Amino acid sequence: GAGVSQSPSNKVTEKGKDVELRCDPISGHTALYWYRQSLGQGLEFLIYFQGNSAPDKSGLPSDRFSAERTGGSVSTLTIQRTQQEDSAVYLCASSLVLSGELFFGEGSRLTVL
């Protein structure tokens, strides 16, 4: 597609359940990023992937969070044993090369009850 595509756009889950969020970046973009946007917290970096290099996971808040990027394209962010504080909008972005010129998707809004 023309832009970064994320699914689901909305997800409501119960505390303790696992969730998977998907990101389909712009074709040809080598770098893919996950950010989290919470009320009162702004945007925080979670993880990025660049080509075949090891991902930079320095922003993942706990070991319940993990992400993978298969075939250098689609990425999945997994949150295990969700907690209420995980409620946020999870934004995926991609860029042609590793840079701050990011193209963002519309986000996946996660609500943990």
Partner 1 sequence: GEDVEQSLFLSVREGDSSVINCTYTDSSSTYLYWYKQEPGAGLQLLTYIFSNMDMKQDQRLTVLLNKKDKHLSLRIADTQTGDSAIYFCAESNGSSNTGKLIFGQGTTLQVKP
- Is residue 56 part of the contact set for partner 1 (CB under 8 A)? yes
Give whole-number Cα distances, 73 to 37, 41, 62, 87, in Å.
23, 29, 24, 26
Residue 15 Cβ vs partner 1, minimum distance, rounded to whole Å: 26
Residue 19 or 23: the one with the smaller Cβ distance to partner 1 is 23
Residue 13 or 104: the one with the smaller Cβ distance to partner 1 is 104
Site for partner 1 in 62-91 (CB under 8 A): 91
Question: Which of 19, 21, 31, 110 touches partner 1 (CB under 8 A)?
Answer: 31
Distance between CA atoms of residues 66 and 78, nearest Å: 5
- Is residue 25 part of the contact set for partner 1 (CB under 8 A)? no
Residue 76 or 104: the one with the smaller Cβ distance to partner 1 is 104
- Is residue 98 part of the contact set for partner 1 (CB under 8 A)? yes
CA dihedral of 13, 34, 103, 5, whole degrees rounded to 10? -40
Distance between CA atoms of residues 73 and 28, nearest Å: 9
- Is residue 48 part of the contact set for partner 1 (CB under 8 A)? yes
* Cβ 63 vs Cβ 42: under 8 Å: no
- Is residue 112 part of the contact set for partner 1 (CB under 8 A)? no
